[in-house]
Structure 1
Amino acid sequence: MKPEGNSINKLWILSFVFSDATQLINQELMKRIPYKLLFFLSFVCLFSCKNRINSPITHFSSFQTERIEHSTLFNLEKYDILKPLEVIKDREEHIFIDDKRDNFITKVNFQSNQFISGVNFGSGPQELNLIGSIKKIKDKILIYDITKKEIFELTMVNEKSLTIQSFHKINNYPQKLFSVNYINNNIIASGLFGDFWIGYIDFLNNELLSAIDFPEFEETNAIQDMQKSIIYLSTHITCSPNNKKIAVATKNAGVISLINIKDDQLDLYKQIKYYPPNFSVTNDGTIAYSKKGEIGFCSIDCDAQHIYLLYSGRTFETHGMLNHHCEHLLIYDWKGNPVKHYILDIPLFSMKFDNEKNTIYGIGYNPEGVFVEYNISSY
C-alpha cells in the first residue's frame, strides 16, 4: 500500500504533504515584487550559475558514499497500522500516525508486541483536524493542530487508550502556522507569513521576535510574497540539542539554511541553494508545480555534530506518487559541509535520528507500510 493523494489533506507531518494546500490559500496574495534592474539580474544569474552546485548528490560526489541495508524491519499490519505516515520514538516505544483508520495514533512496543491506539480525526473534543507537526520535547509528545491553532499533549488513559489534552493555544497569532518547533518558551515555524519565510515567535505572548527571508532565486523574483509563502510552506526544521542553532530544508526546492539563535534573534549564517522550485503561475494566481520538478528534502533531524537529511531528487514524471520515497540519506556538519552519503536499500518516506543507538529510523513501503531502521555508525 502506497500513500495516496487524498491522504495529503489530513496531515502535515513532514511538510512534504502540503502541495494540495496551495489552492486554499492563493486568495491571500499580495502585491507583486518589482523586477530587479536587468543588468543586475544578469550579473547575479551569471555569477550564481557559475558557482551553484545544482544537486546534493553532485555535492557529495567527492565524499564517502555507502550503500547500506536496513538493520531492523517490522511489518506494521500486525499492529493494525494500515497506512503509516510518521513515527517518533518515546523511550522504548514508538508512536505512529496512521492515515487509514479511526484512532489514528498508535503506540507500539516492538519487544512485547503490545500496542494501544486513540484520537480520531475531527473538529470535536479529543479529536485532531490537521496535524502540522509532532515532536518530543523532554518527556512530552506535543502535536500541533493547524486548523485549531492549538498544541496538544499526547496522554494515556488507564494504559488502554491514547488521548490528548490542550498544552497551549496560539489562536491569537494572526498568521496561520504550519510546521511548529519548540525552543523553551518560543516557537520556530513556517507558515503563511506572506513577507518572510521562517518566524521566531514568543510562545506565551504570540509575538514575532525575528524572521528569515525567503531564499532568493531568479525564478521567484517576480512572484508575489504570498506565493513564495505557498512554495516554501513545505519546509522541515530541526533544532540543535542546545537550542542555539536550527537547520531548515525545503521540499519543493533544493535549499538548506543554517541559522544561529542569539538574544531572541535569528541569524542566517549559511545557505546552500542547489536548485529553485519548478513551478508556473496560472491566470488566477495559483501556484502549479511541474511534474518535472525534483522533490527536495522530505525529512530532517540532527544531533550536536551533524544534520541528517532524507533526500529524494525524484520527480512525479518519473516516479509518480513514489517521488517522496527517498533512498538518499545525506549527512552534513553544522558548517554545511558534506560528511557522508548513504544509499538506503529500502527508501524512506519519513525519518528520525536515534541519538542513543546512532541509527536513523522511519517509514518505508515494502510494499506495505513498514518500520525501518538503519545503523549509521560507520561514518
Structure 2
Amino acid sequence: MNNNFLTFIVFLVFGLGCSPSAEEKGKEAIVIFDEKDLPDPIALRGKKYNFPNIINPRYILCLGDYLVVSEKTKDNLLHILDIKSEKYIRSTGKNGLGPREATMVSKLENASEKESFWCYDLEQTIFSKYSVTGDTSKLADSQLRLGEIFHYVMDLTWASDTSLLVTMVDGNDKFFEVSLNGDTLATYGKWDSMFERKDIPYNVISSIHQGRIKASPDKRKFISAGSRRDFIDVLDKASGKILSIRGPVDEVPEFEVDYSMGYPMAAMNIKTLTVKYLDSFAGEKLIYGLHLGKSFRNISDPDKLNRMFVFDYQGNIVNQYTLDYPLTSFTVDEVNGIIYGVSIDEEPNVVAFKIPD
C-alpha cells in the first residue's frame, strides 16, 4: 500500500496527516508502527529526590507547583509535595470506611478547582476531593459515592463536571460516557474491532486490552494505553471516532479462553507475557506513553529500562526518550517541560526529567 493512499485513508477518517501505516474500520482508524519508524532515542537523565515518608509510591499527579503522590501502604495514602521549593508539605487521606475516609487510591485526577484533586477508591466506588493547600486534617474535603453500576467498571476518568468516561467488564462497547448515577449517555468504539476472529467473548477481548483511561486537559480527547498489547486508543469525543496507535510490536499476546470459573476468561501465557505500556499521559497537544516491553519482574534490570514514546493526536511519532530510572507511573508538567515519575528501585521516590527544547 503506497504512502499517498495511506494518507488519504487517514484523512478521510480523522482529517489527519500521514502515518507509518493506517487503515479504516468504521469509526475506528488504525495506525501501525514498528521499531524502524521510531526516531533516534534521546537519553533523559533523571533528577531523583529524597522526599521523606515516601515508601512504596504508585501514582503521581502534577498540580502546578505541587505534586501529589499516592502510596500502596495504608498509613499514608497521599503525599503533598511542593516541587518548586523541593519541600515535603504533608500527608493526607485517612484510611478507613468512615465519612471522608478512603481505603485505597486507584486513581488521581485533577479537580476543576485550582490546586484541588480527586482520589478514586475502587473498593468503595468513592471519589474523595482534597486540596493541596488545605488544613492539616487527613479527611477529604468532600466525597462523591458513585452508583451500583460502577462496581462493574474497569477504569474511569472525568469526561465533564457531571459525567465520567468508563470501560466496563463486559459488552462489545469500548467506552461509555455515563452520568454520576450510572445512566449511559453515549458509547464509543467496539472491542471486536481489535480482532479478526469473531468467536472471542467480548469480556475476554477487553481483558486482553486493559488500559487506564486518561483525559486531555480540555476533556475533548481520551486515551487508553494497553498493558498487555502494544496499542494506544485515542478517542475524539466530539466526533465519536477512535484512532488506534499500534506498535512497536503489533501482535495479540498468547491466550486461551478459559471457562473453568463458569464464565469465559483470558488465560494468558505468563512465560511469554510482557508488559507493554505501564502508564500514559494525555497532554494538550501530545500523548506520552511509558513503555516497558519486558516482564514486570525485570523492570529494574539496567538493560533496556523504560522508554517514553511521544505522539501527536494524529498518531504521528514525535519523539522517543530513554530513561535512566525505572518508573511505574508518571505525569507531565507541560508548562515547564518536565516529566515527573515514581521510581521502582531499592529506594523509590520521585524522579524528574527535563524535556529538551
TM range (shorter): 0.7 to 0.9
Structure 2 vs 1, CA of residues 226 and 114 (structure 1 numbering), >3 Å: closer, same or farther? Answer: closer
AA aligned to 2:70 is I
Provide Cα deviations, 1:325-352, integer angstroms capped at 9, x if missing partner: 9510100011101111011111211011
Aligned to 2:166: 189
Provide Cα deviations, 1:89-126, integer angstroms capped at 9, x if missing partner: 23322211111241321212352634312324443333
Q: Does 1:134 align with 2:108?
A: yes
Note the C-alpha offset of 1:372.
Answer: 0.5
**Aligned counterparts of 2:182 and 2:344: Cα–Cα separation in 1:** 42
Q: Structure 2-normalised TM-score?
A: 0.78
Provide Cα deviations, 1:273-319, integer angstroms capped at 9, x if missing partner: 62223333335144332221221111111322211110111125x72
Contact 2:300 2:326 in 1 (8 A): no
**Aligned counterparts of 1:209 and 1:52: Cα–Cα separation in 2:** 25
Contact 2:119 2:129 in 1 (8 A): yes
- After superposition, where does 1:12-51 map in structure 2 within 5 Å? none
Q: Does 1:296 align with 2:276?
A: yes
Q: Does 1:336 align with 2:312?
A: no
Aligned to 2:61: 88
Aligned to 1:282: 258
- After superposition, where does 1:117-156 map in structure 2 within 5 Å? 117-138=91-112, 139=114, 140-155=116-131
2:203 is paired with a residue whose SS is helix
Structure 2 vs 1, CA of residues 193 and 170 (structure 1 numbering), >3 Å: closer, same or farther? Answer: farther
Gapped runs of 5+ residues in structure 1?
A: 1-43, 45-50
AA aligned to 2:79 is T
AA aligned to 2:290 is L
Gapped runs of 5+ residues in structure 2?
A: 1-22, 24-29
Aligned to 1:231: 208
Q: Does 1:103 align with 2:76?
A: yes
2:191 is paired with a residue whose SS is coil
1:293 is paired with a residue whose SS is coil
Aligned to 1:210: 187
Aligned to 2:8: none
- Count how many residue pairs are aligned between Structure 1 and Structure 2: 318
Structure 2 vs 1, CA of residues 297 and 109 (structure 1 numbering), >3 Å: closer, same or farther? Answer: same
**Aligned counterparts of 2:335 and 2:345: Cα–Cα separation in 1:** 26
AA aligned to 1:90 is L
1:228 is paired with a residue whose SS is helix
1:197 is paired with a residue whose SS is strand
RMSD: 3.0
**Aligned counterparts of 1:224 and 1:250: Cα–Cα separation in 2:** 18
Provide Cα deviations, 1:142-164, integer angstroms capped at 9, x if missing partner: 12222322222124797323321
Note the C-alpha offset of 1:215.
Answer: 5.9
Aligned to 1:116: 90
Contact 2:327 2:341 in 1 (8 A): yes
Contact 1:236 1:298 in 2 (8 A): no
Aligned to 2:144: 168
Contact 2:159 2:177 in 1 (8 A): no
Contact 1:326 1:349 in 2 (8 A): no
Aligned to 1:244: 220
Contact 2:55 2:71 in 1 (8 A): yes
Structure 2 vs 1, CA of residues 266 and 145 (structure 1 numbering), >3 Å: closer, same or farther? Answer: farther
Note the C-alpha offset of 1:173.
Answer: 3.2
Percent of matched pairs sharing the same residue? 17
